[in-house]
Amino acid sequence: MIAARSSRRLSRWFVGISAMVLVALVTPTAAQAADVPVPIPSSSGLPDRGTGPVSAADRDFVVKVRLAGLWEIPAGNMAQEKSKDKRIRAIGKAIAAQHVTLDKQDIKVAKKLGIMLPNTPNADQQGWLAEMKAANSTTFDSIFIDRLRAAHGKIFPAIGTIRSSTRNDSVRKLAQDANQFVMTHMTLLESSGLVDYSSIPTAPPPVAQKGPVPVDGQMLAAAAGAGGVSGVNTSVILMVLAAALVAGVVTTMRIFRAR
């Protein structure tokens, strides 16, 4: 009797411990699956002293930021006047206002670095503005959205290149802020539901790498520390561990019952 009671108590104890361990194993997976907020990097901590060499690509970038404002501000204002869709009017207002802010920062950087800026849009941009001006209320919205979305798609990768390569701290900060503005504008334009994605140029095919692909041990270690290794499903590992734990409990219970 005493042995039977001890066996039952021990069985309950093992079952309870197994349940707690199983919950502990599964809980991190659920936490990892939860949605996390998208980070919005701020440039407030970046220096802006104008120090560091300025490359030809840096100068071209500062000029292009200025050109973007010279045509997108009037385009946004035109959207507020010509569109009958309140969503398009709101998009135009937001883009125009944000480009005023970015333009001021661009002019400040240009003065600091001695870069000459244009005061009128280039020929292509003037053509887009003329096209919008000639459009009626029925055709304006699609022209406005398509032209601005195409322009933002072209400048977006250029911003990333400057942000990651420039040696000048003021250009780096400008690229950081421009990246946030352009991403916001692309999102606003796409929220209209009028973007013709079939007309957007596709990315060039990746360059084939010769020879075996090197394995970065640090990347694998970082992946393991972040909750898994590339190619291995964490949930599968947890299920295997749980099954092994249950099998161990059952075996132990049988041994004590036999005694």
Q: Return the amino acid letter for 86.
A: K
What phi and psi, each to the nearest 5 degrees, are found at residue 216? -90, 110
Q: What is the pTM of this model?
A: 0.67
**Position 230 in a domain:** no
pLDDT top residue among 18 and 172: 172
Of the listed ranges 12-16, 69-73, 77-81, the least confidently predicted one is: 12-16
One domain for residues 25 and 92: no
Taking residues 224-253, report their average pLDDT. Answer: 55
Handedness of CA 121, 123, 128, 129 (dihedral sign): positive
The predicted pLDDT at position 30 comes to: 47
Distance CA 15, CA 37 (A): 38
**Position 37 in a domain:** no
**Position 47 in a domain:** no
Q: In which domain, by residue range, is 76 found?
A: 56-190
Averaged pLDDT of the chain = 81
At 23-56, the pLDDT tens digits run 554 555 544 545 667 677 777 778 878 889 999 9
Instruction: Please identify, among 157, 190, 223, the residue that sits at the C-terminal boundary of a domain.
Output: 190
With cut-offs at 50, 70 and 90, classify the pLDDT of residue 207. confident
What whole-number percentage of the chain has pLDDT above 90?
56
- Do residues 246 and 18 touch, judged by C-beta distance below 8 A? yes
DSSP output for 18-48: HHHHHHHHHHHHHHHHS--PPP---STTS--
One domain for residues 79 and 167: yes
Distance CA 16, CA 19 (A): 5
Q: What is the number of structural domains in the chain? A: 2
Taking residues 121-140, report their average pLDDT. Answer: 96
- Do residues 74 and 128 touch, judged by C-beta distance below 8 A? no
**Position 212 in a domain:** no
Other CB atoms within a 10 A radius of the CB of residue 55 amount to 15
One domain for residues 61 and 184: yes
One domain for residues 22 and 122: no
Q: Is the pLDDT of residue 103 over 60?
A: yes
What phi and psi, each to the nearest 5 degrees, are found at residue 172? -60, -45
**Position 70 in a domain:** yes
Distance CA 4, CA 69 (A): 84
